Amino acid sequence: MSAFYDGLVVGLELARAALPPEEATFFNRPMSEPELIEWLCFQAYYERRAAEFIGRWLADTPEDDAFVLLARQVQDEGRHYQLLMRALDRRGVTSLDRWRPEPEWEEWIDVWYPSGADTLERIAAHNITGEIGAANAFVALRPRLPADVTATLDAILPDERFHMRLGQTVIDRHCHDGDQRARVTARVRRTFELEQAGRAAYNRRMARLGLADTTPDAPTPPLA
């Protein structure tokens, strides 16, 4: 691991550690079945969008090693979408057609992630901030899930860790000068801000749907 990449990861860890509990997690309550369905819908939406925008990157990825790695990631994200939709199907949800994302999620996932001037900027947003946050959240949430969804996450997590290593590999090999590092750092930080806005929107949505646990002692685990 390069000192630069290591510094990015440490910076994210410190930023997450500094968050108050209510801002640090999507999941500030035990996971009920209705919220589980909402969360699975969000995750399926996230994975499908990732497959779509990473696929579009490939035509504009001149680095051969990054091209090959990202092509594999597109397949992974598509498989994750399929696994999550199967979990939803077991709960009577066969389509996301009637499910609508929050505006903060669209800004974060539909607008910000696909943007970026080059491979480094795209990888910085999605494969550093995004994949690290997703993997940490999956691990922390796992004990609260039913067995079938736990099995789904167990199938997804190895790929998420590969995507994190992909980010490290591309940054280590291709991010060398001061301008590149400044742009990567800015993308990592802005993605973290949008991620936190997305988490806050999730908790507001759960409250609006009547799924939030508002008791004073509601558990607030330190998720990514």
In a domain, 22, yes or no: no
Number of domains in the chain: 1
pLDDT in tens, 74-128: 999 999 999 999 999 999 999 999 999 999 999 999 999 999 999 999 999 999 9
Half-sphere exposure of 28 (CA within 13 A, CB side): 24
* Residue 80, domain member (yes or no): yes
* Mean pLDDT of the 6-35 span: 81
> Cβ of 25: how many Cβ atoms within 10 Å?
22
Question: What percent of the chain stands above pLDDT 90?
Answer: 79
Q: What is the CATH number of the domain that holds 191?
A: 1.20.910.10
**Nearest Cα to Cα of residue 150 among 162, 159, 138:** 138
Please report whether residue 218 resides in a domain: no
Say which residue, 221 or 22, is predicted with more confidence. 22
Long-range contacts of 209-217 (CB under 8 A, 24+ apart): 209/34, 209/38, 211/29, 211/32, 211/34, 211/35, 211/38, 212/28, 212/29, 213/28, 213/29, 213/30
How does DSSP classify residue 21?
G
State the average pLDDT over residues 33-42.
95
The label of the residue with tokens 């936190």 reads 196
Mean per-residue pLDDT over the chain, rounded: 91
Task: Tell which wins on pLDDT, 142 or 126.
Answer: 126
Phi-psi region of 221 (alpha: psi -120 to 50; beta: other; left: phi over 0): beta
Residue 222 counted as domain residue = no
Mean pLDDT of 159-188: 97
Q: What is the DSSP string of 91-115?
A: TT---STT----HHHIIIIIIITT-
Q: Looking at the predicted structure, is the pLDDT value of residue 50 above 50? A: yes
pLDDT at 221: 32
Give dist(CA 204, CA 40) in Å, integer. Answer: 17
CA–CA distance, 192 with 78 (Å, rounded to integer): 24
pLDDT recorded at residue 223: 32
pLDDT at 5 over 50: yes
**Structural domain span for residue 69:** 30-208
Query: Residues 101, 109: contact at Cβ < 8 Å?
Result: yes
pLDDT at 215 over 50: no
Distance CA 140, CA 91 (A): 23
Residue 174 lies in a domain: yes
The answer to whether residue 214 is domain-embedded is no
Which pLDDT does position 214 carry in this prediction?
42
- Of the candidate ranges 53-57, 64-68, 180-184, 209-213, the one whose mean pLDDT is the lowest: 209-213
- Retrieve residue 174's tokens: 């291709």
Q: Average pLDDT for residues 177-203, to the nearest whole number?
A: 96
Asked whether residue 8 is assigned to any structural domain, the reply reads: no
What gap in Å lies between CA 26 and CA 212, rounded to an integer? 11
Q: Report, as an integer, the average pLDDT of 166-174.
A: 98
> Could you give the percent of the chain with pLDDT greater than 70?
89
pLDDT at 222 over 90: no
pLDDT band at 2 (very low <50, low <70, confident <90, very high): confident
Residue 152 lies in a domain: yes
